[in-house]
Structure 1
Amino acid sequence: MRIAFFGSSLVSAYWNGAATYYRGIVRALHARGHHVTFYEPDAYERQRHRDIPDPDYARVVVYAGEGTDGVSRALEDARGADLVVKASGVGVFDELLEREVLALRRPGSLVAFWDVDAPATLERVRADEADPFRALVPRYDLVLTYGGGDPVVAAYHALGARACVPVYNALDPATHHPVPRDARFACDLAFLANRLPDREARVDAFFFRAAAAAADRRFLLGGNGWHDRPMPANVAYVGHVYTGDHNAVNCSALAVLNVHRDSMVRNGWSPATRLFEAAGAGACQITDAWQGIDEFLEPGREILVAEDGDAVAAHLDALTPARARAIGDAALRRVLASHTYAHRAAQVEAVLEGAERADVVEAIAR
């Protein structure tokens, strides 16, 4: 199958938390014999902060982030694909792309919307009856989502989606795996996340409050946008951490923290990409509490769950290196057995085959 995929970026994780999700899905689809062209804009300085060169598992087409000539050429280049995907949150030309990819449909092809932040998209659409995306949802052959479980599926069906299937984050074992400890990232608790308005209050509650409550512990913070944020003295801020160093961070901390965004917690069933990345490195993780976590990792055995920053500090106080290793090892076994991108690609393939059959039935009925 020839797949045209319009997303934020495959080659840069700079202000682009979906990068490793895209890489895992696309690499696994390539391994199953599909040919992917990934179209991404030159925007937000991502091309200046690439994590990887153009990969061998996809053709990458970069178009100008200003003016419409570049995106129009990209759309024309995608004509003839068997599957056209428009991902949410490209960052530029989103409304244009959401509308124009539908014009690329031809007999025997499919057009899908792949929502990498479904809870936030749905909250936006609920709040604005005039949102142009509302009218487009029923025109897509299917909606795939980064997660969200039954609440997201029900909400998309209410908007008229023909089909909606969550395709959760997962592990790419070729990219995220155990490595030796690195003294640069040695700490008791590491947290990697870009500074975003709908997550900052939760970062205050779970990370900075824990740091203040555990003044004798060493905390490490990585990600964009935190440079002007006042921090406790025991927090070391290391700025943007490129993908190539994620394993070292995950393997050098006693524990790794995950803090989810507001909309993801309200919805539930929205495990962040880094949850699987850290598990793949065998890290002991502490996550903020959200509904559905036990469907991915078992609390207390494969991951630790905290209700607030004081609970994070309490987990750290009780955590020994031996117990941290046991939790990390159990998480690694679980994700390798059930949550790799090979599992997700097989799921996507099955969903697409079902959509193709449904399209044929609908055509016959007409």
Structure 2
Amino acid sequence: MDIVILGLSITSSWGNGHATTFRGLVRELDALGHHVTFLERDVPWYAPHRDLPQPPYCRTELYADLADLRARFGRTVAGADAVIVGSYVPKGVAVGEWVQETAQGVTGFYDIDTPVTLAKLSAGDFEYLHPRLIPGYDVYLSFTGGPTLGRLEREFGSPCARALHCAFDPGLYHPEPMQAAWDLGYLGTYSDDRQPRVDGLLMAPAQRWPEGRFVVAGPMYPGTIAWPGNVERIDHVPPDAHRRFYNQQRFTLNVTRDDMIRAGWSPSVRLFEAAACGTPIISDVWEGIEALFVPGEEILLAESAEQVLGYLRDIGDADRRAIGARARERVMAEHTAGHRAEQLVAVLHEIAADTRPARTA
């Protein structure tokens, strides 16, 4: 198939998790024999941070604005077998309207931020998606599964809502023997609603266990945060350093934004990347996590600093490694980028079989 994706970014992983998702998915689509064109808005905050300016597995084009997009890529969009618009695309409503008017093939919305999107729609915030556009996309591809898919169809009129979770690249994420630098680490961009769980599940344990070694990595943390002396700060870990970062931790922390906790079934790519490295995960609790990992066997759940400290100090190395190994086995079987590419292709073929005759009648 000839597939066009209009996404937030594939060239820069700075301050966003979209790039790594698109890179893995597009690479695997290419490996399956499909041709992908990725269209990305040229914005100043990514321009100095492009760690993959020309991905080798797709045609990547930057556009300046909507007029430039329409003028240069109208034929590309019109002639594609499938056109997918991602969440948080600048001027995403106007981009979506143009795609639905122009594309002759299957159209889809790929929501890497589904709970955030739905919260914004409920608040009347139509930054990158308007409710009127949802019925016009042939398929709504959602990072969130579970009951949210039915809600997208019932309340918002999507003709077809399917889960397409994040994934990891097994070529990039795997165990490496190295000396542990930290007892517990966290990798994630700062957000106001996630920070209380970082405070409760990492900062508080660090304060109560001065001998422990902790790390928080990611951009945009306010300068007003008072970091305990045993918490190391790293401003940015590029994707090619994620594997080393996870392998240097005895345990890694996963915490979730409020909207995603409320929706459930919203795994972060941190879960899959860390599991692929065999690093045991301590996670906050949300509905649907048990569908991804077996609690107590493949993942450790925590709601308090006391629980976190219990894991860090009481679980021996053999048991710790066994938890990580079981989690790795699970994600290798179900959550690679290759699995996601196959799922996407199957959905697009299914939708095309249902919609193409109607489009050409």
Scaled to the shorter chain, the TM-score interval is over 0.9
Measure, in 1, the Cα distance between the counterparts of 2:256 and 2:193.
9
Give the aligned partner of residue 239 of structure 1. 235
Measure, in 1, the Cα distance between the counterparts of 2:103 and 2:193.
35
Give the aligned partner of residue 226 of structure 1. 221
Give the aligned partner of residue 168 of structure 1. 165
Measure, in 1, the Cα distance between the counterparts of 2:187 and 2:125.
35
1:73-152 to 2 correspondences below 5 Å:
73=71, 75-76=73-74, 77-90=76-89, 92-106=90-104, 109-128=105-124, 133-152=130-149
1:200 aligns with 2:195: yes
Gap regions ≥5 residues in structure 1? none
Residue by residue, what CA displacement relative to the aligned partner does 1:231-250 show, whole Å, maximum 9, x if unpaired?
Answer: 11110001111111100011
Give the aligned partner of residue 11 of structure 2. 11
Measure, in 2, the Cα distance between the counterparts of 1:282 and 1:74.
45
Give the aligned partner of residue 212 of structure 1. 207
Measure, in 2, the Cα distance between the counterparts of 1:49 and 1:308.
36
Contact 2:152 2:161 in 1 (8 A): no
Measure, in 2, the Cα distance between the counterparts of 1:249 and 1:347.
29
Contact 2:182 2:249 in 1 (8 A): yes
Measure, in 1, the Cα distance between the counterparts of 2:135 and 2:323.
44
Which 10-residue stretch deviates more, 333-342 or 242-251? 333-342
Classify 1:182/1:242 alpha carbon distance in 2 versus 1 (closer, same or farther; 3 Å). farther
Measure, in 2, the Cα distance between the counterparts of 1:309 and 1:75.
52
Measure, in 1, the Cα distance between the counterparts of 2:178 and 2:243.
9
1:1-366 to 2 correspondences below 5 Å:
1-43=1-43, 45-64=45-64, 67-73=65-71, 75-76=73-74, 77-90=76-89, 92-106=90-104, 109-128=105-124, 133-181=130-178, 186-226=181-221, 228=223, 229-360=225-356, 362=358
Measure, in 2, the Cα distance between the counterparts of 1:181 and 1:359.
52
Measure, in 2, the Cα distance between the counterparts of 1:227 and 1:363.
50
How large is the Cα RMSD of the aligned pairs? 2.1
Report the alpha carbon displacement of residue 273 of structure 1 after superposing the two structures with TM. 0.7
After TM superposition, the score normalised by the length of structure 2 is: 0.93
Measure, in 1, the Cα distance between the counterparts of 2:171 and 2:100.
34
Measure, in 2, the Cα distance between the counterparts of 1:129 and 1:213.
41
Report the alpha carbon displacement of residue 276 of structure 1 after superposing the two structures with TM. 0.4
Contact 1:180 1:248 in 2 (8 A): no
Classify 1:259/1:61 alpha carbon distance in 2 versus 1 (closer, same or farther; 3 Å). same
Classify 1:156/1:307 alpha carbon distance in 2 versus 1 (closer, same or farther; 3 Å). farther
Identical amino acids, percent of aligned pairs: 36
Report the alpha carbon displacement of residue 25 of structure 1 after superposing the two structures with TM. 1.3
Contact 1:143 1:163 in 2 (8 A): yes
Report the alpha carbon displacement of residue 74 of structure 1 after superposing the two structures with TM. 5.1
Measure, in 1, the Cα distance between the counterparts of 2:102 and 2:288.
37
Letter in 2 for 1:26: V
Report the alpha carbon displacement of residue 202 of structure 1 after superposing the two structures with TM. 2.4
Classify 1:130/1:326 alpha carbon distance in 2 versus 1 (closer, same or farther; 3 Å). closer
User: When the two structures are aligned, how many residues end up with a matched partner?
Assistant: 358
Q: SS of the residue aligned with 1:257?
A: strand
Classify 1:348/1:216 alpha carbon distance in 2 versus 1 (closer, same or farther; 3 Å). same
Report the alpha carbon displacement of residue 63 of structure 1 after superposing the two structures with TM. 2.0
Which 10-residue stretch deviates more, 337-346 or 39-48? 39-48
Letter in 2 for 1:196: S
Report the alpha carbon displacement of residue 331 of structure 1 after superposing the two structures with TM. 1.0
Letter in 2 for 1:36: V
Measure, in 1, the Cα distance between the counterparts of 2:280 and 2:169.
18
Classify 1:122/1:83 alpha carbon distance in 2 versus 1 (closer, same or farther; 3 Å). same
Residue by residue, what CA displacement relative to the aligned partner does 1:89-109 show, whole Å, maximum 9, x if unpaired?
Answer: 12x222221221112222xx1
Q: SS of the residue aligned with 1:173?
A: coil
Q: SS of the residue aligned with 2:79?
A: coil
Measure, in 1, the Cα distance between the counterparts of 2:125 and 2:143.
24
Letter in 2 for 1:347: Q
Letter in 2 for 1:207: L
Measure, in 2, the Cα distance between the counterparts of 1:351 and 1:152.
14
Q: SS of the residue aligned with 1:10?
A: coil
Report the alpha carbon displacement of residue 129 of structure 1 after superposing the two structures with TM. 8.8
Gap regions ≥5 residues in structure 2? none
Letter in 1 for 2:157: G
Q: SS of the residue aligned with 2:52?
A: coil
Letter in 2 for 1:222: A
Contact 1:122 1:155 in 2 (8 A): no
Q: SS of the residue aligned with 1:79?
A: helix
